[in-house]
Structure 1
Amino acid sequence: MTTTFKIIVFYCCLGISFFSNAQTLDVWLQGTVSNKNKTTNKKLKNIWVSNGDTLVKTDKKGFFKIPVKKGQVLFPILPSGYGHSNTKKWWYNIPSDFDSNTKIEIDFELQEIQEKKAFKFLAIGDIQVGDTNELLQATQSILKELLNRNDFEFSIYLGDLVNDTPELFLPLKKLVDDIKQPSWVVYGNHDRNFNTDKKNQSNLFRDNFGPDTYAFFRNNVLFVSLNSITPEGKYGYKGMYQDNQITFLSQLLKTVDPNQPIVISQHIPFVSMKNKQDIINILNPFKNVLFLTGHTHTAFRNNIKMPSGNIIHELTAGAVCGNWWTGQKNWEGIPLSLMSCGTPKGYFEIDFNNNNYSINYKGIDLPNSKQFSVWLGDYNGEPLSPLSKTNEFYVNVFSGSDSTKVSIKLSNQDIIYLKKERITDPFVNYIKRSQKEEKSPDKNSKKSPYLRTKSRHIWKGVFPNNLEKGYHKIEVLIQDPKLLDIKQSLWILKP
């Protein structure tokens, strides 16, 4: 089944509910939203439809009428219990030659899906492929892993699908569409087309992946995607919401309760947005807000307190390309790409259950148990070393935040509590030294840039001075309100 578009002359007047910041426009488009299956095509009432600015609701016969202008993208806002009949093309781009003489009726076809109280979706940071070789690396790492997973409902790609190479949109979309679970895509600063003026830089993205501003409900959670990119000059940009983003979010949230769980996805971290206060003012009454972002190629979490006392939880999901597809390649030709915060390339799993959620980091081709790294030797030493002479050691918790507690239990049941520090990850420090000394990577691999970043999720501890020589079994315990408890045993060697 596909979304149907018919160009017809349509003269009847419709009484339709709508929110609008663009009511002065004299060009209108109309259509229907339907629930289509093998035998029937039932029109659906009270379904919101938007152009990324204005919101209108279908009447009792399933009809809507909305003001539009060139360059906008039209889409229905899925209610819970519905999905798109055609997950590969669920939107309608307003034609460049659209004018008041063009009469178009659109039928957005939806289908019923099962609602769940417990479900998992994936938050996927920058793929950022810059050429066909990097696209191949993506197919044999992140995309292959997703292609063979059956335990999630959908994924959200958090922008920068390409690296200023929009000609790769078409093959990348084909690969993403081959993954059976639906995907939603966010617009990033490297997804722009610089062969046009700044007003139209997002057109190729919209043609391939749909609107840069949209929303849908899934299992009674509201998901919203915002465009965080405002162009400056031909190549520049700033993290700023444009007026239509603010209007869209404001209108949409007037339709839901303050207890509504809300997940907002955008590319640039919320804490870095220049006019984030405008969004805080809108979100202030809401008690359960999660922001998902990318852009920084590092993973970190923030809690932003609003005037009401409600908290915005922000998860910056890192990048599945890691440090831009750089570093020593493995035997299959995939670069190490360790992020500058010490996190392996990967993505986040978000598990909702009765409107509450937990998060889990998933390194590509790594087991689910790989939630942290441990450095035992001298800080300027090498990996896989015995305990340092100072007995100091470091634990990097990839999902860690200021709310995370890290402790070590010794075999005699003594407990060591670690202290959070803002330092460069020791594994990243090792790679930096190796590159400077030209020990790695080899000539077939690319050196990693930006290795001075101080990680936001490292904890430092010190073992007792009376620790005897030899191997000691220890237990690492990591606790956080948004994580399932992480408990893992390992050995350390006291020389």
Structure 2
Amino acid sequence: MSRFALSVSVVALWAGLHTPALAQPYMAAPEVIGAAGGETISGVVFEDLDRNGRHDRREPGVEGVRVSNGRDWVITNAAGQYEIAVRPDMNLTFVQPSGWQAPVDHRNVPQFSYIHKPGGTGYSMRFGGLPDTGPAPEAVNFPIIRRPAEAHAFSCAVVGDSQTYSNQEVSWFRDGVVQDLAAMDLTDQDCALYVGDVVGDDLGLLDRLLEVGSVVGAPQWLVHGNHDFDFDAQSDADSADSWRRIYGPNYFAFEMGDVLFVALDNVVYPCGPEDYASGHDFCAPDARPTYNGRVTEDQLVWLEGLIESTPSDMLIVLSHHIPFVSFVDSTSDKHQTDNLDRIHDLVSGHQALSLSGHTHSTENHAPGQVFDGWTENTGTGPLPFRHIVAGAASGAWYAGDLNVDGNPMSLQRMGAPNGVVMLDFDGVDYAERYVGARIDETRGQWVGVSTPSLRAWYDAIMAWRAEDRDARNPVPPLSINDLPDPNILTLEELADGVWVTANVWMGSSETQLSGQIANGPALSFERTQSGAGEAPRIGADWADPFAVQRQLSVARYAMQSRSGDERAQGVFQWQGRQTGPAAPQPQNSVADRNMHLWRAMLPADLGLGVHAITVTSTDRNGLEFEDTIIVEVREARPQPTFRTELWAD
């Protein structure tokens, strides 16, 4: 059973989240005038009273709007006018100001930019790159409209790594996360923020995915990820060209209420001399082209100017694909962000929040957290503000067996389900919660039992998994059918050590755990990772028993038919790679470590019989999840399968 409770303050926040939506979506585009080819571009940010996207004489300009060429900033005057230098390759953007709303296109993608790149990409690209944009226009006018009422309370769905490699996976995204979001009554007063890897290498899927996501009702703002770039780009300056043509800028900012959202592109591809000189050997001149997590100098200058013009009482939300810091990749110099100390310095003096994706794990790092490897790889120590890794809408890459809805049960690298982070804002305050795809919102944790027999089962499969794939027996040593029921305990197992565990999907160092054995003692839970500078603890003792049971024996790999369709056999993932048909296999990602796992040792003298154990987690905002599991203590395990010997005659 599961129960969901909210503190009074969080209930009040939720009740005030939504203001009435506009009767019709505001659809328009920037007005581009002439082709002057000058050294500057001018224009006006104006109130589009008739909503046609064209600046008419009676439509007033909007003062105080920030406009950028991707490095420099200007602010519109009393008439809404601006003038800014032309750069040879630039995103001309404006910052949607609080109280105002940028138009959207038919995909519910905000229209707040003009892309300028004379000559275009200049060479053939798989997904088309950028065409020749020609000389700089004489003027670009940006239309906006007033919000019906300035909402200081709103929600934002943070979508990590939808990462669809195929149209089949776009459909799974549609029938999972999008289905949930569409039921949340989000409006144009809310936002959907994708934190990168929106697609999986195939930018030809992006339009369909955005059309599917448009049914959610909130404007879709996208961060550029390492599976969203042009792999045939010859330089980082070209790597987002197809993205810019299909979606828009690869870095930008917008305001809502008391919040400034900043979208950074911290994926440098192909990484090169600057990255190699800073110690990244995978960026050596003779290495295969790959990416590095870094914010470029142009963006840092852009970010500095943006923050200088941001009031100190606004919350700054830094959105980027590669985490600034990560628990699951804490020792990696590729999957975390260089020059992080400089970024932290830039936002010093402001309330701030970091949002990212990339790792396919949910991580909620409270201020003060630090793990081994962060300082060496990012230049930072204990965190000055909260950093959230938003997990993945694709989970562990659409792996796992199919659930009741026909979607893969894609548990992530630390065992949380695929899904989205919901942020509920009230002024500069916010409450974070994780919503598992097609899972009741009242559920926010897995509760399991870690027994000696489960840990031995885990070790045997993981040892086989580590063997040479070409030399090992193709059949794993054990499957889920070989695992004794973890909720049936013997006295011997209790003496050897049995833990009740809670994998709290959005758990942080502020989360409190409690447990109670019915008619028995209270349980004392400890977090398996304190976040005090230690390295990740890896192995059976630190794994989530609930998740690994589902990850280590996936029957879907065995699917086959006589249809003659090769692509209907086994499982196709990643870039079309086939696994199977084969015996049930462990999936590629297994929850062998965890920063949001708590455990409590069961008493060795727990009496024979049946016991109900209730586990409750409470987060920093008072959000509470409660689950009850039932365990049996027996002198010996009963035979699990049908007793055929009774029917031998």
TM-score of the pair, normalised by structure 2: 0.68
Cα distance change on mapping 1:84 and 1:304 into 2, 3 Å: same
What is the SS of the residue equivalent to 1:262?
strand
Deviations 1:42-65 (A, max 9, x none): 211111111221111111111111
1:31 aligns with 2:43: yes
How far 1:95 moved relative to its partner?
A: 4.4
Find the aligned partners of 1:476 and 1:216 in 2 and give their Cα distance. 41
Deviations 1:321-373 (A, max 9, x none): 00111121235431111112010111111111232111111000001111100
How far 1:430 moved relative to its partner?
A: 2.5
- Spell out the pairing of 1:106-121 with structure 2 (5 A cutoff): 106-113=140-147, 114-121=149-156
Find the aligned partners of 1:264 and 1:100 in 2 and give their Cα distance. 33
Cα distance change on mapping 1:191 and 1:356 into 2, 3 Å: same
Question: Runs of 5+ in structure 2 lacking a partner?
Answer: 1-26, 52-57, 120-131, 273-287, 326-335, 370-379, 456-482, 529-536, 560-569, 572-578, 580-584, 634-649
Where does residue 490 of structure 1 map in the other structure?
A: 628
Cα distance change on mapping 1:397 and 1:331 into 2, 3 Å: closer
Find the aligned partners of 1:473 and 1:102 in 2 and give their Cα distance. 71
Conserved 8 A contact 2:74-2:83: yes
Stretch of structure 1 that moved more, 165-174 or 446-455 = 446-455
How far 1:99 moved relative to its partner?
A: 9.3
Conserved 8 A contact 1:338-1:345: yes
Conserved 8 A contact 1:285-1:310: no
Conserved 8 A contact 2:65-2:94: yes
Where does residue 252 of structure 1 map in the other structure?
A: 306
Conserved 8 A contact 2:117-2:134: no
Where does residue 16 of structure 2 map in the other structure?
A: none
Conserved 8 A contact 1:376-1:386: no
How far 1:100 moved relative to its partner?
A: 9.9
Stretch of structure 1 that moved more, 408-417 or 322-331 = 408-417
Conserved 8 A contact 2:258-2:427: no
User: Relative to total residues, which structure has the larger helix share, 1 or 2?
Assistant: 2
Where does residue 446 of structure 2 map in the other structure?
A: 373
Conserved 8 A contact 2:116-2:133: no
Deviations 1:233-272 (A, max 9, x none): 6730100110112111111111123332111100001122
Stretch of structure 1 that moved more, 411-420 or 57-66 = 411-420
Find the aligned partners of 2:71 and 2:206 in 1 and give their Cα distance. 25
Deviations 1:27-55 (A, max 9, x none): 21111101112386221111111122111
Where does residue 205 of structure 2 map in the other structure?
A: 168
Match 1:63 to one of 81, 93, 108 = 81
Which has more radius of gyration?
A: 2
Cα distance change on mapping 1:201 and 1:109 into 2, 3 Å: same
How far 1:316 moved relative to its partner?
A: 0.3
Where does residue 96 of structure 2 map in the other structure?
A: 78
- Spell out the pairing of 1:80-479 with structure 2 (5 A cutoff): 80-86=98-104, 87-88=108-109, 89-97=111-119, 102-113=136-147, 114-151=149-186, 153-198=190-235, 199-231=237-269, 232=271, 235-271=289-325, 272-286=336-350, 288-303=351-366, 305=368, 311-376=384-449, 378=451, 379-380=454-455, 381=483, 385-387=487-489, 389-390=493-494, 391-412=498-519, 414-421=521-528, 422=537, 423-434=542-553, 441-443=557-559, 444-445=570-571, 448-451=587-590, 453-479=592-618
Conserved 8 A contact 1:49-1:58: yes
How far 1:68 moved relative to its partner?
A: 2.4
What is the SS of the residue equivalent to 1:140?
helix
Deviations 1:291-324 (A, max 9, x none): 0100000111223559999822000011010011
User: Relative to total residues, which structure has the larger strand share, 1 or 2?
Assistant: 1
How far 1:467 moved relative to its partner?
A: 3.5
Letter in 2 for 1:462: M
How far 1:411 moved relative to its partner?
A: 3.3
Find the aligned partners of 1:383 and 1:126 in 2 and give their Cα distance. 34
Q: Considering Cα pairs closer than 8 Å and 6+ residues apart, tell me whether 1 or 2 has the greater RCO.
A: 2
Letter in 2 for 1:405: Q
Deviations 1:149-201 (A, max 9, x none): 30461110010011111121222222233432111100001101123322311
Stretch of structure 1 that moved more, 425-434 or 114-123 = 425-434
TM-score of the pair, normalised by structure 1: 0.88
Cα distance change on mapping 1:456 and 1:124 into 2, 3 Å: same
How far 1:489 moved relative to its partner?
A: 4.4
Find the aligned partners of 2:526 and 2:388 in 1 and give their Cα distance. 22
Stretch of structure 1 that moved more, 213-222 or 415-424 = 415-424
Deviations 1:268-291 (A, max 9, x none): 0112212111101212222x2110
Letter in 2 for 1:213: Y
Give aligned pairs, total: 476
Letter in 2 for 1:166: L
Letter in 2 for 1:221: V
- Percent of aligned pairs sharing the same letter: 25
Find the aligned partners of 1:279 and 1:321 in 2 and give their Cα distance. 29
Conserved 8 A contact 1:293-1:315: yes
How far 1:133 moved relative to its partner?
A: 1.6
Where does residue 18 of structure 1 map in the other structure?
A: none
What is the SS of the residue equivalent to 1:43?
coil
